[in-house]
Chain A
Amino acid sequence: MQKVFGRPEALADVPTHYCPGCTHGIIHRLIAEVIDELGVRERTVGISPVGCAVLAYDYFNCDFVEASHGRAPAVATGIKRASPNSVVFTYQGDGDLASIGAGEIVHAASRGEKITVIFVNNAIYGMTGGQMAPTTLPGQKTTTSPRGRDPEVAGHPIRVCELLSSLSGAAYIARVSVTSPANVAKARRAVKKAFETQLEGKGFSLVEFLSTCPTNWGMTPVEALKWVDDKMAVYYPLGEYTRVPEVG
């Protein structure tokens, strides 16, 4: 049973600390709706990252664990292996997942770990005040790339979906955004597929959200949504990243 306007049961009835126009909140809601729809709230264990979503454990109404920066996929692996009937998901930012936790995510995916990863890519370090992220776009100014990211020096942005989809253990990988009602609907379907992939025991699943950070981008919420469409979605194309078929 899906309630469209009410609060999903898997979402706690508390105000969040997210800035106005930040899309972390919508993403929380979509996950909670899917958990409700699949009826798995009481089996679900979430892992929160170190990043703006660190307090996700306050916002979801299910069991939750706080991991150290970048290690959520390893913590999730431990939980899932010890308790295979649990539905385990991580919620990670781009710094958490693609920078300090790049090792953990690659190996969780390559092992085909039966967990679901929600990857929130806002092209910046939100929580620490706007430093460069591994997903910061070329030329994008941040507090540690004050002249704009120069790929010669700071390297190129990492396309996580493309990277992980080359691994045989990755069963479902998709990139979505929440910039319009149509995109929100697609995002919801992707989250549902990802959790279903886990429930069916098929392997590793990940949904990357292109998300906003109006605060550290120095934009209004409306400008920020437009920047996701005009800039981020160009470098990071939306869609499903089909799994590479197993060879041999």
Chain B
Amino acid sequence: MGEKVLMKGNEAVAEAAIMAGCRCFFGYPITPQNEIPEYMSRRMPEVGGVFLQAESEVAGSNMVYGAACAGARVMTTSSSPGISLMQEAISYMAGAELPCVVVNIVRGGPGLGGIQGAQSDYFQATKGGGHGDYHLLVLGPSTVQELVDLTMEAFDLADMYRNPVMILGDAILGQMMEPVEMRKRPPRADLPPKTWATTGAAGRPKNVITSLYLDPAKLEKHNLRLAEKYKRMAAEEVRYATHMTEDADVVLVAYGTTARIARAALDRARERGLRVGLFRPISLWPFPYEALATAAAGAAHVLVVEMSLGQMVEDVRLALGETKPVHFYGRTGGMSPSPREILDDIVKIVERGA
């Protein structure tokens, strides 16, 4: 194990990107992720990279589109209102099959909302966000170390699938400090060369990057080809973690920071002799439907906990169908559930359900 350093999630994400070979960053300030562009403004010049504060998220995300066209490893980061403005470019990048990494340090909405952490952008991240038939690969880390590791991996996944990858964090993860080990991670050796990049048609036929297909038959074909890719992603890139689900009567399902709070509730429940387990989706798209069904197979109840009014719960219901009751507990607007609140809900479910 290498040496650990104490880092804020936001700064760790920035350094992780640099270590993964990201040399282009475009962004626009927004709380609670300002430390990312601020860190990049210091660090990028040191490593010979590009930092540019765009005039808006609309522009910044289209700068990402451009840099991705040029074959660069490129990232942008923002928080909810800014991510909404990026949806146009994200849709275009999905359509044109451009690799990039987008980090959303989620805050409470809708509208201007607030600046405290939330998970209310789950639908936007996993069910579309922009227009068209497309998917992002969406990863939801729950510790600063996992934020670092997944960010580094996100660049490989983006290049591998030629698809935007989103890291769905939240303000708590961005603002907190935790020890992390920064392992340099060179790009995977088996990545396809970027022969499609628009770097000048020297000694090769010209490259054109577009998402325009005026002929509906061609656009349909393009969409079907993308769908094949999403199928491959769904088969290969499912990630999740379980904790004490084997004997659990109640399985908690939570992602990101909320999974940690749920874990604290689990520990207290176990102290009281309640058999509680935790299923934590890490890939939010593709969602681990089958793994969840397996992990919760022996449980009588499933309790989904989110910092929203219930978004991921829809995927949990899809995974479990009518096999068992799926309960929900959520706080929203930047409030987070406390372990005690979750424990109270567990107790209620057990007492009512037994």
Contacts and interface: CB of A to CB of B under 8 A. Distances in A.
Contacts of A128: 29-31, 34
Interface in A107-157: 125, 127-129, 131-132, 134, 143-147, 153-154
Given A50-B112, A143-B41, A99 B56 contact: yes
Residues of B in contact with A, size category: 20 to 34
Nearest to A147: B45
A144 B112 contact: no
Given A54-B112, A68-B111, A128-B31, A102 B55 contact: yes
A144 B38 contact: yes
Interface in A92-107: 95, 99-100, 102
Contacts of A127: 31
Nearest to A143: B38
Interface in B29-48: 29-31, 34, 37-38, 41-42, 45
Contacts of B53: 131-132, 144, 154
Contacts of B55: 99-100, 102, 134
B29 A153 contact: no
A144 B29 contact: yes
Interface string B244-283: 0000000000000000000000000000000000000000
Nearest to B27: A144
Interface residues of A, number: 24
A145 B41 contact: yes
B349 interface: no
A66 B111 CA distance: 10
Most buried by A among B41, B45, B81, B112: B41
A68 B56 CA distance: 12
Given A125-B29, A128-B31, A144-B29, A70 B56 contact: yes
A202 interface: no
A69 interface: yes
Interface string B37-75: 110011001000001110111100000000000000000
Interface string B227-244: 000000000000000000
A132 B38 CA distance: 10
Contacts of A131: 29, 34, 37-38, 53
Contacts of A95: 29
B287 interface: no
A168 to B, nearest CB: 24
Contacts of B28: 99-100
B33 to A, nearest CB: 10
Interface in A44-70: 50, 54, 66, 68-70
Given A99-B55, A128-B30, A68 B81 contact: yes
A154 B38 CA distance: 14
Contact of A144 (B31, B37, B58): B37
B205 to A, nearest CB: 35
Contacts of B56: 70, 99-100
B67 to A, nearest CB: 15
Nearest to B53: A144
Interface of A: 50, 54, 66, 68-70, 95, 99-100, 102, 125, 127-129, 131-132, 134, 143-147, 153-154
Interface of B: 28-31, 34, 37-38, 41-42, 45, 51-53, 55-58, 81, 111-112
Given A95-B29, A134-B55, A146-B38, 8 more contacts: A66-B112, A68-B111, A68-B112, A100-B28, A100-B56, A127-B31, A129-B29, A146-B42
Q: Which 4 A-B pairs have the closest CB atoms?
A: A100-B56, A131-B29, A144-B41, A128-B29
6 contacts: A50-B112, A70-B56, A99-B56, A100-B56, A131-B29, A144-B37
